[in-house]
Amino acid sequence: MANTARRLVAAAAATMVAAPTLAEAHVKWFAPYIVGAAPRPVSATLHDVWFWTAIVLVTVFFAATRAIERTRVGEAVLAGFDRVFDPLWSRADDFMRVTTGAFFVAIFAVGGVYLTPDLKTPAEWVSWAQLLIAAGVFSRRTMPLSAAGIVALWALALRDYDLFHLLDYLALGLAVAAYLVLEASSNEDWRKHRFEVLRWGVAIALMWSSLEKFAYPEWFYPLVAEKPFLTFGIPRDAFIPMAGVAEFTLGFAFLWTPLVRRLSAVSLFVIFNAAVYPFGRIDMVGHALIMAIIVLIAADHTREIHFAPALKRRVAAIPVALAAALVLFVAGYWGSHIALYGAAGRTDAPALTTTHTHDPQRPHLGPEAHVTTGSSLLR
């Protein structure tokens, strides 16, 4: 019995370290799915022992980090972060603008996509519009135009893709657009919040996308079958929910105190880069903006907490706030899906187009994957 318990804890700890490698590979870029299909009931996750194991582990980690943060050791760690990241933080806006420009140049070069790899479009002008967005980020006069272009392209993608699908990219897109507007502003009271907006955008994007692991674990089965090393030998149905917890809680950490969010940012940066090896350049290009913002979160010298500072300073508030965040996002995810598709889901709309074709390097996307079901595309 003791050996079983030890193996359970060891597997859980290993999963919390390794799981995000799968979590940070955006499944819609690499595997077939039907976004209108009915999600798995929330009750199935609530009865999953691996979900609760992961929740307990991350809660303990966050509580321990917050307890250390209140001591001299925590302040020394933060001061060490400041020294390491001083050169970057002093040029943070240059870094963000260059990275944003490079991202849009990269997707211009790839061609045929709206903002992200899985939003395919045959319209050639879209690629040229994204090149103009890249050019606009290098002048404060044109940065608001680039921001408007980002929002406009997201809105135009609604012609070809379901709103629920595009919600995956809404928070990040709005955050980058808001950053460009705030950075160009002459009002310092508004401008000082530009990096905080980016941090909230990435946090919300990560927490929202993590829910796919609970709602649609079957979407990840082809990836696990194709790349079994991703699970480090841990059973698939244990690994996927823990990957979801890892992604959700690391996003949640960005909304917490400086040491918690900076350590989480370093962890996520390592994880995102580790995912490039199994998933290639598509993963790197697609996540470039998120990785840039994560670097800025790690570099952020500010100690100020603007949202509920008294709550966040209490160690005991961590499990309560995490539970509240889970309830809020789960209600939003399942609730919006039901509102758009009904309780039974929808998979029988008229066919549109597909973003996946047969690729011998991805055997799970065989010829049978070249099927569409309405604007909820199978890809």
376 in any annotated domain = no
- Chain mean position to CA 14: 21
Assess contact for 208 and 244: CB atoms under 8 A: no
Residues of the domain holding 200:
2-343
Residue 286's pLDDT band (boundaries 50, 70, 90)?
A: confident
Q: Tell me the CA distances in angstroms from 379 to 29, 32, 43, 75, 347, one per residue in order.
A: 8, 4, 27, 48, 13
pLDDT over 90 (residue 178): yes
Is 372 part of a structural domain of the chain?
no
pLDDT tens digits for range 238-256: 888 998 999 999 999 999 9
Would you state the pLDDT for residue 344? 84
Query: Has residue 373 been placed in a domain?
Result: no
Specify the DSSP class assigned to residue 368: G
User: Percentage of the chain surpassing pLDDT 90?
Assistant: 55
> 171: burial class by Cβ within 10 Å (0-12, 13-18, 19+)?
buried
Tell whether 37 is covered by a domain.
yes
Between CA 359 and CA 366 the distance in angstroms is 7
Q: How far apart are CA 251 and CA 146, in angstroms?
A: 26
| Residue 374: inside a domain | no
pLDDT digits (tens, 9 = 90+) for 109-121: 888 888 887 788 8
Residue type, 159: R
Please indicate, yes or no, if residue 299 is contained in any of the structural domains: yes
User: Cβ distance 203 to 247 under 8 Å?
Assistant: no
Residues 230, 233, 234, 235, Cα dihedral to 10°: 100
State the Cα–Cα distance between residues 90 and 301, nearest whole angstrom.
10
Distance set, CA 154 to CA 144, 165, 192 (Å): 16, 11, 26
Q: Which carries the bigger pLDDT value, residue 52 or residue 22?
A: 52
- The SS3 assignment for 82 reads helix
Whole-prediction pTM value?
Answer: 0.84
- pLDDT tens, residue by residue, 120-164: 888 899 999 999 999 999 999 999 999 999 999 999 999 888 899
Residue that wins the pLDDT comparison between 307 and 361: 307
Predicted pLDDT of residue 28: 65
Q: Is there a domain that residue 353 lies in?
A: no
Tell me the pLDDT of the chain averaged across its residues: 82
* Residue 364 in domain: no
Please tell me the least confidently modeled range out of 180-189, 208-217, 355-364: 355-364
> How many domains does the chain contain in total?
1
